Amino acid sequence: MKETPLSNCERRFLLRAIEEKKRLDGRQTYDYRNIKISFGTDYGCCIVELGKTRVLGQVSCELVSPKLNRATEGILFFNLELSQMAAPAFEPGRQSDLLVKLNRLLERCLRNSKCIDTESLCVVAGEKVWQIRVDLHLLNHDGNIIDAASIAAIVALCHFRRPDVSVQGDEITLYALEERDPVPLSIHHMPICISFAFFQQGTYLLVDPNEREERVMDGLLVIAMNKHREICTIQSSGGIMLLQDQVLRCSKIAGVKVAEITELIQKALENDKRVRKEGGKFGFAESIANQRITAFKMEKAPVDTSDVEEKAEEIIAEADPPSEAVSKPVLWTPGTAQIGEGIESSWGDLEEEEDEDEGGSDDVTILDSVKMETEDQNVGDHITDDTPIVLSDSEEDEIIILEPGENPKKTRIQANNSKQEKASSKKAIRKKKKKKKAAKILLF
Amino acid sequence: MAMEIRLPVARQRLPESLDRDTQKHLVVPGDTITTDTGFMRGHGTYMGDEKLIASVAGSVERVNKLICVKALKTRYNGEVGDIVVGRITEVQQKRWKVETNSRLDSVLLLSSMNLPGGELRRRSAEDELAMRDFLREGDLISAEVQAVFSDGAVSLHTRSLKYGKLGQGVLVQVSPSLVKRQKTHFHDLPCGASVILGNNGFIWIYPTPEQREEEVGGFIANLEPVPLSDREVISRLRNCIVALVAQKMMLFDTSLLYCYEASLSHQIKDILKPEIMEEIVMETRQRLLEQEG
């Protein structure tokens, strides 16, 4: 199936987000996605998950006759396959370009770097050598196949155990797994590929691009390095022109990332070794968690809300009074003063919030703030008038007696009961704290 | 800040249809349609040991002696005269390849495209070189189906001035079987937006242009900022379409309009909630039935 084309607005959105240093999944520019390594029951079988990209690696071995010009070396064979379940665009005949590129890169990274000691794979010089075959299958494509594949390959090789062989004169004895413990391969170092995606002709750079970012990128730089900071392979594709300091910077970043990933791999390998030694359960069934979300039926359950009102009132009554912001009273004329602002809400630009029409939360706060405004305005109006305000007999009110020159005591306005009941109790407390206080004044 | 938490609950099945004289005969692949051998078999069926068996999931249609199964979810099968909305995927030598949600990419020949100015002249080599200036990869166009090739690929044309490159708007992709065939697929809805209901399931909602520019011929995309009120109408329409599609209602201008009016009492983002979707679509269905009967 042909890939559905990316719409223009999505492409523009991704590029703009990258210009503002934002990635869709919230990562930073140099962040990797979560790497999960799990092992199967056989030696040499592993699944590596880099975010949602999954690669399955399997190593197998066979005794064959060596190549004529390399009579004392074993044979390594790498094969990466893009399975049709990885992405709808992968079809048996269609993915040739990408496939060739990935395979070549993997071979250069693992074979040419001589990370595996091929001399140790020789059994009888010129006659029998081990052929190690690494098969990688891409199970899900969410970007950055090469990184996941290289990690899977090296982890599978480190995990693999080949049958033990002994040579006595002309006789070669191949021991079965039950007779003698299988022997690990001799691996010198672990090269790991790190990908850098470039955007806008090399201006912006991202590490570990995911599938969307790969679609809009201009070029890709892959650096294969090991933890001793030796570069095994470096490849730049896409035709972007990179400056020298950009490449050097990328190699420094790659060094840091490779150290982290190598540590993770060591930990995973040791974990697995320990579990196997202790006789615990190992294999895919144990390590890959069940990620299915099962739908369930839920009958309607009546919820009793009769005591919510009382509870809310309790909580409000027991709550501490809001922290008093001591503001100086503004003396308008002798006998008229104002404490607090009470005229205009300074809660930020309401016009912009109304524009967005986003979540309900925004609407709710807008309504509340508007209500607050009008309420405050009413009281403010009252204050600027000279009419005396009737004091209620409620115990919640504190009375202020204002005489010119004296410090007024603080007051609280009794809020509308209806508002408190509607909102949750927590919200009510916050509202009270935020409310602007306007004083009730007794005039003399 | 208020946060909404929703729990999953088994959804109530709506009563299937409030009036339905003929119950639709729904089949799945492998179902026997009939054992009567007198019928001719049409699309979506095959003969298997003396029985007519369905090969797709859909409803059985019968015209005299011809039985065919019309699938519910398919790729678009082109027919001459259909209006489609498509996206340019490739620019080739004398034609463009357009993606129209069908099995093969559709083709828009350079000779089927109306040049700016509406002139009729032979397409020259300069026109060929300037193809990318007209339409490039990623552009959306509205076109009409001119012909269908033997392998099912569709050939498009934009010979009238009402077709051409689309400017600012929102694209909604639905199943082609949900778009009702009508006389015209270009509608100017009274709520303040215009909509193109492509037969291939691509629905384009855009702000109503103030004056029709006859000379331009649909190449210059209007890139002025769209006012907020228009954008709200367009968002609401888009959510209404999603609601109608979720309840498998046929899409045409009246159903869209009724759904829009029914949704006015809710906030735009609330339309996407399952229970509000059901409510709105029920109301729409009621109104449509009243209007028919």
Model confidence at B260, in pLDDT bands (50, 70, 90)? very high
Query: How far apart are the CA of A5 and the nearest CA of chain B, in angstroms?
Result: 7
A365 lies within 8 A of chain B by CB? yes
**pLDDT given for residue A103 in this prediction:** 94
Helix and strand numbers (H, E) in chain A are 11, 16
Query: B269 vs A365: CB contact, 8 Å cut-off?
Result: no
The predicted structure's pLDDT at residue A133: 95
The pLDDT value given to residue A5: 81
Q: Is the pLDDT of residue A398 over 70?
A: no
**B138, A6: Cβ pair inside 8 Å?**
yes
Q: Does the structure's ipTM exceed the value 0.95?
A: no
| CB distance A63 to A123 below 8 Å | yes
Rounded CA-CA distance A35/A257 in Å is 12
Which residues 3-22 of A are in CB contact (within 8 Å) with B? 4-8, 11
CA atoms of A215 and A42, how far apart (whole Å): 37
Give CA–CA dist A345/A354, Å, rounded.
15
Residue A420 has φ and ψ, to the nearest 5°, of -65, -35
The residue of chain A with its CA nearest to that of B105 is A2
CA distance B143 to B141: 6
Higher pLDDT, residue B209 or B258 = B258
Average pLDDT over residues A410-422: 41
Q: Are B58 and B27 in contact (CB under 8 A)?
A: yes
Q: Which residues contact residue B71 at a Cβ distance below 8 angstroms, ignoring those fewer than 6 apart?
A: B44, B56, B57, B58, B177
Could you say which of A5, A8, A359 has the minimum Cβ distance to residue B99? A5
Whole-number pLDDT of residue B3: 74
Rounded to whole angstroms, the Cα distance separating A173 from A164 reads 8
Output the pLDDT for position A380. Answer: 41
Chain A, residues 299-328, CB within 8 A of chain B, namely 300
- Band (B224; pLDDT cuts 50, 70, 90): confident
Interface test with B, best of A4, A216, A365 (most B CBs within 10 A): A4
Q: Answer yes or no: do B7 and A298 touch at CB < 8 A.
A: yes
User: What residues of A are in contact with residue B171 (Cβ under 8 Å)?
Assistant: 7
Q: Please, which pLDDT band fits residue A402 given cuts at 50, 70 and 90?
A: low
CB atoms within 10 A of CB A53: 23
A6, A7, A364: residue with CB nearest B2: A364
- What pLDDT sits at residue A263? 95
Give the C-alpha separation, A169 to A394, whole Å.
108
Q: Is the pLDDT of residue A251 over 80?
A: yes
Phi-psi region of B197 (alpha: psi -120 to 50; beta: other; left: phi over 0): beta
What pLDDT does A382 receive?
Answer: 42
Instruction: Indicate the residue of B10, B171, B228 with minimum beta-carbon distance to A355.
Output: B228
pLDDT band at A430 (very low <50, low <70, confident <90, very high): very low
Write the residue in B4, B10, B138 that is nearest to A7 by C-beta: B138
Q: Is A294 on the interface with B (CB under 8 A)?
A: no
- Least confidently predicted of A73-82, A156-165, A221-230, B32-41: B32-41
Give the pLDDT score at A371: 42
Give the best-scoring range by mean pLDDT among A237-251, A302-316, A401-415.
Answer: A237-251
pLDDT at B55 over 60: yes
Chain A residues whose CB is inside 8 A of the B99 CB are: 2, 4-5
- Shortest Cα distance from A300 to chain B (angstroms)? 8
Rounded to the nearest angstrom, the gap between the alpha carbon of residue A302 and the centroid of all alpha carbons in its chain is 38
CA–centroid distance for A380 within its chain: 50
- The pLDDT, as a whole number, for residue B127 is 77
Is the pLDDT at B173 greater than 90? The verdict is yes
Lowest mean pLDDT among A9-18, B70-79, B216-225: B216-225
B4-36 tens-digit pLDDT: 777 777 766 666 655 555 577 889 999 888 888
Q: Is B192 left (phi over 0), alpha (psi -120 to 50) or beta?
A: left
Give chain A's mean pLDDT. 77
Contact A361 B2 (CB under 8 A): yes
Identify all chain B residues contacting A298, using CB atoms and an 8 Å cutoff: 7-10
Strand partners, B62: B67
Q: Write down the CATH number for the domain with range A25-283.
A: 3.30.230.70
pTM: 0.69
pLDDT surpasses 80 at A440? no
Are the C-beta atoms of residues B39 and B32 closer than 8 Å to each other?
Answer: no
Does the pLDDT at position B214 exceed 50?
no
Judged by a CB distance cut-off of 8 A, whether residue B232 touches chain A is yes
Test mutation, B269, B272, B273, B276, chain A, max A CBs within 10 A: B269
Domain locations in chain B? 26-71
Least confident segment among A194-203, A289-298, B181-190: A289-298
- b/e A105-135 (16+ beta carbons within 10 angstroms → b): bbbbbbeebebbebeebbbbeeebbbbbbbb
When pLDDT is cut at 50, 70 and 90, the band that residue B210 belongs to is: confident
* Chain A residues within an 8 Å CB radius of B91: none
For A4, nearest residue in chain B (alpha carbons) = B99
Residue A272 pLDDT exceeds 70: yes
Would you state the pLDDT for residue A195?
95
Q: Which of A133-142, A180-189, A412-421, B59-68 has the lowest mean pLDDT?
A: A412-421
